[in-house]
């Protein structure tokens, strides 16, 4: 708990250190990073305190849910943006806790699918509304029209940042 | 390089999976996270490719620069939002590469300060304008007034998310 509060304060300082005399673009990036890390830290702390679980496990369950219950290891890796090696260990732990199970692949006999177990489904069904509630609470001071405008501007930023990656070959 | 492009695509998918049928608040959070991770991945890749260094090392140099050259280990830890243990290893590596040095604390004989060496200062002076240029390029499709509005809305979001932490005791 102290770590998270501490982190929040530290991030604010980090942005302030760059304030005033620096360029608008740099201030924008630091504020974006501050918001993102602050919200992520709160979500991690809540998942740990209320469900005894990690953001990585929540993300696995959310991706499986969005995919209607089943994904190959490669698909899961791609959606989680971690390496296959990391996903292997993560999934092994979740398998041991009966949150997910390995299933035979319907068309590729050498491959397996990862599926939600009834227990994994039940846990996700409890966590998803809580997760949504934390986020709603964190953004509550923005009016619906401010949220819409922020979503739109972040969409423009996403296109701008993504295009750069492609052009520069990164 | 492939990993970063891959990551970008994966993040886009992650947001799309939550689109349309989910609430505005959740879409806002996922888009914020996508932008932040996409930009961070590009910055990490550039620091590695062009300066052979990591974001953690860049952050240490930037914090020391903002503090006019010197910070205690505790202050540095707080500003970097990592544990003291991690900072100790990070600083030991940077000391071995002569980017930072330990200095006697002017008022507390039991403590030391971490300071920029001339080599660390020279490296940061080369990296800082490059870092600023990457960010300018990534956000270039936003007009100055859009950047100003985005900064303002993110400021409101930051206050909203921070207040929640305090109220909930996280």
Test B139 with A28 for CB contact under 8 angstroms. yes
Is the pLDDT at A13 greater than 70, yes or no?
no
pLDDT value of residue A162: 86
Tell me what the mean pLDDT of segment A2-13 comes to: 43
DSSP designation for B116? E
Tell me yes or no: is domain A53-162 CATH 1.10.10.10: yes
Q: Please report the sign of the dihedral spanned by the C-alpha atoms of residue A101, residue A103, residue A105, residue A110.
A: positive
Q: B34-67, pLDDT tens digit by residue?
A: 999 899 989 999 999 999 999 999 999 999 999 9
Q: Residue A78 to residues A74, A82, A164, B83: CA-CA distances in angstroms?
A: 6, 7, 21, 29
pLDDT value of residue A147: 96
Is the pLDDT at B10 greater than 90, yes or no?
no
3-class secondary-structure state, position B19: coil
In DSSP terms, A102 is beta-bridged to: A114
To 5 degrees, how large is the angle CA A51–CA B21–CA A71? 60
Tell me what the mean pLDDT of segment A139-149 comes to: 95
pLDDT value of residue B20: 46
Is the pLDDT at A122 greater than 80, yes or no?
yes
pLDDT value of residue A83: 55
B-chain CB neighbours of A45 within 8 Å are 170
- Domain-by-domain residue ranges, chain B? 1-52, 54-120
Tell me what the mean pLDDT of segment A135-153 comes to: 95
pTM listed for this prediction: 0.79
Tell me what the mean pLDDT of segment B84-91 comes to: 81
Test A31 with B160 for CB contact under 8 angstroms. no
Residue of B nearest to A18 (CA): B66
Question: E-assigned strands of B107-158?
Answer: 112-116
Q: Residue B8 to residues A103, A152, A161: CA-CA distances in angstroms?
A: 28, 19, 10
Is the pLDDT at A165 greater than 90, yes or no?
no
CA B13/CA A80 separation, integer angstroms: 10
B-chain CB neighbours of A138 within 8 Å are 29, 157, 160-161, 164
Buried b (16+ CB within 10 A) or exposed e, A132-165: eebbebbbeebeeebbebbbebbebbbebbbebb
Half-sphere exposure of A90 (CA within 13 A, CB side): 21
A130 reaches B (C-beta below 8 A) = no
Among B4-8, B93-97, B147-151, the range scoring the smallest mean pLDDT is B4-8
B144 reaches A (C-beta below 8 A) = yes
Test B25 with A147 for CB contact under 8 angstroms. yes
Tell me what the mean pLDDT of segment B117-132 comes to: 96
pLDDT value of residue B83: 54
Q: Residue A47 to residues A89, A92, A100, A134: CA-CA distances in angstroms?
A: 20, 20, 18, 10
pLDDT value of residue A59: 92
Tell me what the mean pLDDT of segment A11-21 comes to: 49
Tell me what the mean pLDDT of segment A109-121 comes to: 91
Is the pLDDT at A167 greater than 60, yes or no?
no
Higher pLDDT, A84 or B122: B122
Q: How confident is the model at residue A71 (pLDDT cuts 50, 70, 90)?
A: very high
A55 reaches B (C-beta below 8 A) = no
- Torsion from C-alpha of A83, A89, A94, A95, nearest 10 degrees: 110
Test B25 with A79 for CB contact under 8 angstroms. no
pLDDT value of residue A5: 38
Residue of B nearest to A17 (CA): B66
Is the pLDDT at A84 greater than 70, yes or no?
no
Write out the two tokens for B57.
């090392």
CA A33/CA A37 separation, integer angstroms: 6
Tell me what the mean pLDDT of segment A123-148 comes to: 95
Tell me what the mean pLDDT of segment B112-133 comes to: 95
Is the pLDDT at A141 greater than 50, yes or no?
yes
Is the pLDDT at B97 greater than 60, yes or no?
yes
Mean pLDDT of chain B: 83
Most B CBs within 10 Å, among A35, A84, A142, to test the B interface: A35
Q: Which of A38, A78, A151 sits opposite B28 (nearest CB)?
A: A151
Test A146 with B156 for CB contact under 8 angstroms. yes
What's domain B54-120's architecture? Orthogonal Bundle (1.10)
The share of chain A scoring above pLDDT 70, in percent, equals 79
Q: How confident is the model at residue B111 (pLDDT cuts 50, 70, 90)?
A: confident
Is the pLDDT at A87 greater than 50, yes or no?
yes
Test B39 with A32 for CB contact under 8 angstroms. yes
To 5 degrees, how large is the angle CA B152–CA B158–CA B161? 145
Mean pLDDT of chain A: 83
Assembly ipTM: 0.80
pLDDT value of residue A6: 40
Q: Between A and B, how many residue pairs show a Cβ–Cβ distance under 8 A?
A: 221
């Amino acid at each position: 708990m102290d770590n998270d509060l501490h982190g929040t304060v530290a991030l604010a300082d980090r942005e302030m250190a760059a304030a005033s005399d620096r360029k608008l673009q740099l201030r924008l990036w630091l504020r974006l990073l501050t918001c993102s890390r602050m919200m992520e830290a709160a979500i991690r702390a809540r998942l740990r305190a209320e469900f005894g679980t990690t953001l990585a496990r929540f993300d696995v369950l959310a991706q499986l849910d969005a995919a209607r219950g089943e994904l190959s290891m490669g698909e899961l890796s791609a959606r989680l943006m971690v390496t296959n090696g990391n996903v292997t260990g993560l999934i092994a732990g979740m398998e041991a806790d009966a949150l997910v199970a390995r299933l035979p692949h319907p068309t590729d006999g050498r491959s397996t699918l990862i599926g939600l177990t009834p227990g994994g489904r039940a846990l996700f069904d409890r966590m998803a509304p809580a997760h949504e509630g934390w986020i709603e609470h964190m953004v509550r001071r923005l009016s619906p029209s401010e949220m819409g405008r922020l979503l739109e501007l972040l969409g423009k930023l996403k296109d701008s940042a993504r295009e750069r990656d492609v052009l520069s070959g990164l």
